[in-house]
Structure 1
Amino acid sequence: MMHSLFERNQRNQNRSYHYTPIARAVGLSMLLAAACANAEDAGGGAETDAALEVVDTVVVSGSRSKAAKSRVKDVPGNISVITSDELERGRKSTLGDVLAYQPGVFAESVGGNDAIKISIRGSGIISGVGVFREGIKFLFDGMPISGPGGTSYEFLNAQGTAYTEVLRGGNAFSYGALAIGGAVNFVTHTGYTAPGTRVRFEAGSWGLQKTTISHGGVSGDWDYYFNLDNYESDGYRERWSRSESKGLVANVGYRFSPKLSARALLRYREEYHQDPGYLTLTQLYQDPRQPAAANINASSGTRPGSYWGGFKISYIFDDDATLEVGLNTYKYPHINSRETRTGQPGYWRWIDNSQSIRYSRTDQWAGHESRTEVSYNGTEENVGQARAVQGSDNSIVVSKRTFKKSHDRSLAVGNDFAITPDLWLTSGLAFTSLRRTTEYSYHATNANPPSADYQSYNWVPRLGLRYSVTPDVQVFGNITRQIDPPLNWRYSIVNRTNTLLDLKEQKANTFEIGVRGQVGIASGSLVLFRTNVKRDLLTVVDEEETALQGGVIQTRTFNSESPTRRQGVELALDLRLWSGDDGSQVVWRNSYTWNDFRFVRDPRLGNNRLPGLPSQVYDGKVQYDHPSGFYGNLNVRARTHVPIDYTNSAHAPGYAVWGATFGYEAPDRSWNAYLDFKNLADRKYVATSSTIYDAAGNRDRQNYAPGDGFGMFAGVEYRF
């Protein structure tokens, strides 16, 4: 009895600790909201039923793209669209800035560079910072940048984009059903969406400077757009966290006729960033700005010159059916840890070629509207090479391997059928083909290194319903099968056994229900999902490989023998707390995610939580907008604690950090400026953590990446 009472008290203490950051953040946000609501009551002159723009989880300001709005309402699942206008109201240095306030999306930057940790609904949970992204398919204008080797991160900054689509889970069905997390599609500005010249300059703490120049225009049937940017920062961590990058975004389009148009697109980027590594909790709380000793002059990422080029042609048939064909190529060389003299720098070279075809049409079947889409998405790895070296001058070759002929292919047919004008049935079926090859041509410690050639074929069905309760409120649900293959470079040699890791694709079934729309002063969405996963791809720290790399943390991947379950709640809620006769307003914006990712009856781990992601995430802000163009907000980011091991014996602590933003946008939109404050209390906290199998209850391990301290950033943009 005494033992049980002690365990119950300990659990209660832990539960209180887990929820404290979220509870405090939401509580203080509610106090601010209540104060604003009281101000509205006292004013008495505000029109409480004034028109409120319906967001439908679409993050926009100003006029909204009709296509983006239609995309949300036509999908029986949780998707959102983020426009560039919203992002201009504050710092937008990384993908973490772009994807803020997106429930179900975890995007955390730990160095101010593009190498962030990102996950949607637990996808890519195995990935840390500074490596290729997986579990999410990234695209430019519907054409992929993700391939069999994953997604290199240098282009993941939304540079030159008009808006960004976030399609969670199986709702990315038409883009290829090969990612459990779904897809992120960056839609590029054109001469039509961004005419004229724009000059933007941002500067702030830790030497951050970013300059962007863009110009677009239309001349007859031609239109064009280009965007140049240069970014540099010393980073929050001292001595070894510098980032530098520069790039070009350009496209040119031509309309041959009202029915036929074409566009050529180009992106180029160079990037270098230093990786300061992980700290122990003691080190982090003593001095979070210090780098890990083993990482100094040893761990970095270099992208000497990556380019992505695409060509897209669209044709509208006489019956209004449309055909889009896209071809693109992506070359992305990179160097890992080029400075190290104790580890093994890696020189990698990749070239992917992709094809995308999409045919859509609308018909009438017995008086019922039917919308059909047939799509093909394929990516072949034309070149994939990796070379590891060592020695004082990096002249000793340790290994050479290739990944040529790996591919991802998906052929899908989808249909939306109007049972009634308000009730729609969504159905779809995809056939997927994947191949992963790894061939060692040389390995210093293995005379006969192994090779792998894994192929798999799968059927992927999808079924959904959406019903418009009122013109402004919609309920929806879907069941979708998902396939998520391992990255080809994860088939690495296990030195102890001279064998390659035996990895297979994950298979998952996702169930999703939700509601979205507007009722009175409230607008947003509430979604519940559950994903049952077989052969979940997970990772742990590889102690042997870490030693070979001079102490720089290395990981190894494996398929879980037991099934896992990922379920959660995604809430996006905007509340208009106050509105004035002059058009001013106060809006309380909320983004809340509850995650429950765990094993299911594992023989050793039971129903333990999967490590790496917090169970609760809250982002909120109370914002005031004045019709003259002035605006300001107080914002908060809060996370509960995170297990760092599969036994759940140790956790990274949760946190809540506050910020504030003030700015002005001229009514004619000719210029805007902002002042953005991050981490007002200069709190020391853990942003992300690496994963080990069993911490044996020792929380003070070298597994923690500190978040940035207090920072101040300013920006100004002029439009001509």
Structure 2
Amino acid sequence: MFRLQRFNKNTRRLDPLATASSLGLLLMAVHGASLAAEPDTAQDPRLATVTVTGAQATEAQKAEKQLAKVPGKTAVIDNREIEKGRASNAEDVLALQPGVFAQATSGSAANKISIRGSGLNTFYQGYVLGIKFLFDGLPLTGPGGTQEDMLDMAGVDHTEVLYGANAFNYSALSLGGAINFVSKTGRTDPGNYARFEAGSYGYRKQVLSTGGVVDNADYYVSVQHNERDGYQHDTSNEGQGIVANFGYVFNPKLETRFFLRYREETLTQGNTLTKYQLKHDPRSNNVPFGRKKDGSTLVGSKTTYTFDDNAKLEVGLGYNDYPLLNGWRYSATPQDWRSKDINLTLRYLRTGDTFLGLNSDSTVTFSNTRADLADVKSHFRATRLKQQETNYTGSRDTVFSLGNELQLSDNVWLSSGLSFIDVKRKAEIEYTSGSNTTAFPNGVEYEEHDIAPRIGLRYKLTPEFEVFGNVSRSIDPPVTWQLGSTGTPYIRDVRPQKANTVEFGIRGGHGIFDGSLTLYRSWVQKELLSVVVRQATATQDQLVATSNGSPTIHQGVEAGLNALLWEGASGDTVTLRQAYTLNDFHYRHDATFGDNELPGLPRQVYQAELEYRQTGGFYAQLNARAASSYYVDFANSWSAPSYTLWGAKFGYEAPSKKWEVFVDARNLTNERYATATNTAYDANGQDSANFYPGDPINVTTGVAFRF
């Protein structure tokens, strides 16, 4: 995210911490010179007391400064700014990020999220592919994928978005990179907090939290409850959970923090519609589908030790339990998923070294996430007899990486890295009531080793502008259920997707403007592509197949521009934020589809936000999101409609920061549009049920108190 700052045309932006430090050194030098000039006979010379004040950098600003060293596209989002309106899911947080597609369906935390076309045509039920998600650097994503109920943004201080191989230091090697959510703590959010939201279609949300510091320890605890009746018929959802962390500083060299995230959720999702229904009967829901989470739990710890030479060692341990009752309502064959991951992460960071007389910073990272227990069982609802049982236990993702940043000159930095990857996938049908009449096996188990190099360069053109570029390789192993689950009595031998990517761009600011422009191109081999081979009906569940596709290209443009349009004498401002994404994803001479576009994501997306803000606390905002049409089938015979959504937001934050209130209105023109689509193989130019309807005009209001 591009952080807007107040600055004059003829002055540079100043980092508050660096400025305070520099002023302190300057003042001490001046006083030292004065003292040295005094005659030796001067008696009791004393320095006058000098007080240097400066705004303390927030955790988001610190993260932004750190990620600015990456020779590629990154963004940091301050979740406190997002909380000035409705902030119920990842769509709200990831808005206005060029290159990122995030849309919610059925009003839940289950979002379709894609960065640079990662998992672009994944069937919608909340699964996100091609992106590694983390909380506080601890993996949420495992061999079985990412559980969508944890993406509810509870207790998050700020969000780091690292595109593609720019997520190298998090051992993330996916085409889409990584998203790291950093938790609030007792040090960043002391005191008590209460927040209440209510809105259209029965939306309600309540949050209570408390945090503080006691000697060398700090604590933060937040509880949340949310519910929504839904826009489509019979699409209610409800969830509740707790987020907590406890930190302790043993001494200046050793500190640790324990984390807990727990959430229960039940929801009913609406079925996909035809384009005709989307326009004329968008609330239709003939085949609802229920999902139930009986208690997703993520517990972990991160311990940091600082050596005498200021090198740091971070040790992270995590346990992730995410059960799922799929089809707990309505489905003819309900499924009971058990998934328990264990992960270990190690990061060794060295700064201030020299190599060949040049400044050198190095990293060594290790990440291992193993499916300690993973299986799925399904049964026939009518007879209660077992349908199928598939086991994935033992699947794992292991990455060991070496990285370095070398300062070649005052204005040039060279980054390099090499990752060693070990991927194991196991999927075995232990029981099935069906008969396998295909050539596919009943089980697949393999282990693949690979390497992923990365090299990048940053060059500071001027004190205000920097250009960057990098070349990298990405590895995306399939998640376990993509090999097979319960819908078919066989397993597909799906292998990791691999890509080589070139990226370059420019970022910086001058005068009233601040922004960046990034271009990239990825040559993808064995892309993981999914297709709906059978639509859900009242008697049959939806059937989706995943396979490795022929060579494809992912390329695009990511542009963001912020402008301080006006600043009053009292500090009132009018600002404009804009984000533009061009997606060009297509086959490379496929035997069947030639150079057809890949379905699933808009080719162009434009977002804008115009805001008036008073120093007294009042703010008003007008925002827009426009997306072009895109295909829903590989044959490029049928497409989703384009759309433009308008929204407005008004709020007031008391100068004391003790309370605030807001009104957030969306889709003011009542546009009927599709938030996401299923992917068909060949629609033959015929309208078919592949569209998930978005919410019409809706309003949310909220109030928050700090005490």
TM-score by length of 2: 0.90
The DSSP-based 3-state class of the residue aligned with 1:542 is strand
- 1:579 corresponds to 2:567: yes
2:276 matched to which residue of 1?
282
Structure 1 residues 317 and 47: alpha-carbon distance in aligned structure 2, compared to 1, 3 A threshold: closer
> What SS does the aligned partner of 1:440 have?
strand
Q: How does 1:36-435 map to 2 (within 5 A)?
A: 63=58, 65-238=60-233, 240-291=234-285, 293-295=286-288, 299-340=289-330, 343-362=332-351, 363-392=353-382, 395-435=384-424
Q: Is the 8 A contact 1:263 1:311 kept in 2?
A: yes
* 1:707 corresponds to which of 689, 694, 697: 694
AA partner of residue 419 (structure 2): A
Q: Equivalents in 1 of 2:278, 2:60: separation in Å?
A: 45
Match of residue 12 from structure 1? none
Aligned with 1:506 (options 482, 493, 497): 497
Q: Distance in 1 between matches of 2:665 and 2:539?
A: 37
Alpha-carbon distance in structure 1 between the residues aligned to 2:657 and 2:410:
39
Cα 1:447/1:541, change in 2 over 3 Å: closer
Pair 1:718-2:690 in alignment: no
Q: Secondary structure at the residue paired with 2:461?
A: strand
In 1, are the aligned partners of 2:287 and 2:536 still within 8 Å (CA)?
no
For 1:674 and 1:658, the matched residues in 2 are separated by: 17
Are the aligned partners of 2:363 and 2:403 in contact in 1 as well (CA < 8 Å)? yes
Distance 1:697 1:65 in 2: 48
Task: Name the residue aligned to 2:585.
Answer: 597
- In the TM superposition, what is the alpha-carbon distance from 1:491 to its structure 2 partner? 1.3
Q: CA deviation at 1:447?
A: 8.0
In structure 2, C-alpha distance between the alignment counterparts of 1:162 and 1:525, rounded to whole Å: 24
Q: Per the alignment, do residues 53 and 370 of structure 1 end up closer, same or farther by CA in structure 2, a change over 3 Å counting?
A: closer
- SS of the aligned residue for 1:154 comes to helix
CA drift of 1:323 comes to 0.4
Number of the residue aligned with 1:536: 527
Corresponding residue for residue 30 of structure 1 = none
Deviation (angstroms), 1:84? 1.9
The aligned residue for residue 542 of structure 2 is 553
Q: Is the 8 A contact 2:622 2:647 kept in 1?
A: yes
Q: Is the 8 A contact 2:487 2:543 kept in 1?
A: no
- Residue 469 of structure 1 aligns to which amino acid in structure 2? L
Answering whether residue 658 of structure 2 is matched by residue 670 of structure 1, we say yes
Q: SS in structure 2 opposite 1:294?
A: coil
Structure 1 residue 340: Cα displacement = 2.3
Contact 2:72 2:504 in 1 (8 A): yes
**Aligned partners of 1:403, 1:684: CA distance in 2, in Å?**
41
Partner of residue 477, structure 2:
485
Q: CA deviation at 1:72?
A: 2.5
Work out whether 1:627 is the aligned partner of 2:615.
Answer: yes
Is the contact between residue 144 and residue 354 of structure 1 (CA under 8 Å) also seen in structure 2?
yes
Q: How does 1:423-462 map to 2 (within 5 A)?
A: 423-446=412-435, 450-462=442-454
SS in 1 for 2:141: coil
Q: Which runs of 5+ in 1 are unaligned?
A: 1-45, 56-60
Q: Is the 8 A contact 2:414 2:458 kept in 1?
A: yes
Question: Residues 466 and 48 (structure 1 numbering): CA distance in 2 closer, same or farther, change over 3 Å?
Answer: closer
- CA pair 582-52 structure 1, distance change in 2 beyond 3 A: farther
Percent identity of equivalent pairs: 41
Q: Matched residues in 2 for 1:521 and 1:480: separation? A: 34
Aligned residue for 2:287, secondary structure, equals helix
Q: CA deviation at 1:551?
A: 4.7
Q: CA deviation at 1:555?
A: 1.3
Which string of whole-angstrom CA distances, capped at 9 and with x for unpartnered residues, describes residues 613-636 of structure 1?
000011111111111111111100
- The one-character-per-residue Cα deviations of 1:562-614 (angstroms, maximum 9, x if unpaired) are 21000000011101111111111111110110000000111211111000000
Say if 1:355 and 1:379, in contact at 8 Å, map to a contact too: yes
Match of 1:472 in 2: 464
User: How far apart, CA to CA, are the structure 1 residues paired with 2:414 and 2:666?
Assistant: 45
Q: Deviations over 1:359-399 (max 9, x none)?
A: 01020224321000000011000000100111326x11000
In the alignment, the residues of structure 2 paired with residue 120 and residue 477 of structure 1 have an alpha-carbon distance, to the nearest angstrom, of 18
Find the aligned partners of 2:152 and 2:486 in 1 and give their Cα distance: 35
What RMSD over aligned residues (CA atoms) do the two structures have, in Å? Answer: 2.0
Distance in 2, matches of 1:658 and 1:54, equals 35
Matched position secondary structure for 1:500? coil
**1:177: how far off?**
3.7
Instruction: Return closer, same or farther for 1:329/1:81 CA change in 2, 3 Å cut-off.
Output: same
Rate the CA distance shift 1:178–1:65 in 2: closer, same or farther, 3 A.
closer
Larger radius of gyration: 2
Which of residues 639, 642, 646 is equivalent to 1:651?
A: 639
SS in 2 for 1:96: helix
Residue 640 of structure 1: aligned partner: 628
* SS in structure 2 at match of 1:170: helix
Deviation at 1:131, TM superposition (A): 3.8
Post-superposition offset of 1:286 = 1.1
CA contact (8 A) 1:130 1:301 kept: no
Structure 1 residues 671 and 601 mapped into 2: Cα distance closer, same or farther (>3 Å)? same
Does 1:609 find its partner at 2:584? no
Tell me the SS of whatever aligns to 1:668. coil
Residue 78 of structure 1: how far off its partner (Å): 0.5
Give 1:232's aligned amino acid.
Answer: E
Scaled by the length of structure 1, what TM-score is found?
A: 0.89
Aligned position for 1:37: none
- The residue type paired with residue 456 of structure 1 is E
CA distance in 2, matches of 1:441, 1:705: 35
Structure 1 residue 469: Cα displacement: 1.6
Q: 1:294 touches 1:551 (CA, 8 Å); kept in 2?
A: no
The question of 1:526 aligning with 2:517 is answered: yes
Letter matched to residue 578 of structure 1: W
Pick closer, same or farther for the CA change 1:628–1:64 going to 2, 3 Å: farther
Following TM superposition, where does structure 1 have runs of at least 4 consecutive aligned residues deviating by more than 3 angstroms?
A: 46-55, 61-66, 446-449, 493-496
Aligned letter for 1:437? K
Contact kept? 2:533, 2:681, Cα under 8 Å:
no
Contact 2:241/2:264 (<8 A) preserved: yes
Shift of 1:135: 0.7
User: 1:348 & 1:494 partners in 2: Cα distance?
Assistant: 10
Give the gaps of 5 or more residues in structure 2: 1-6, 17-55
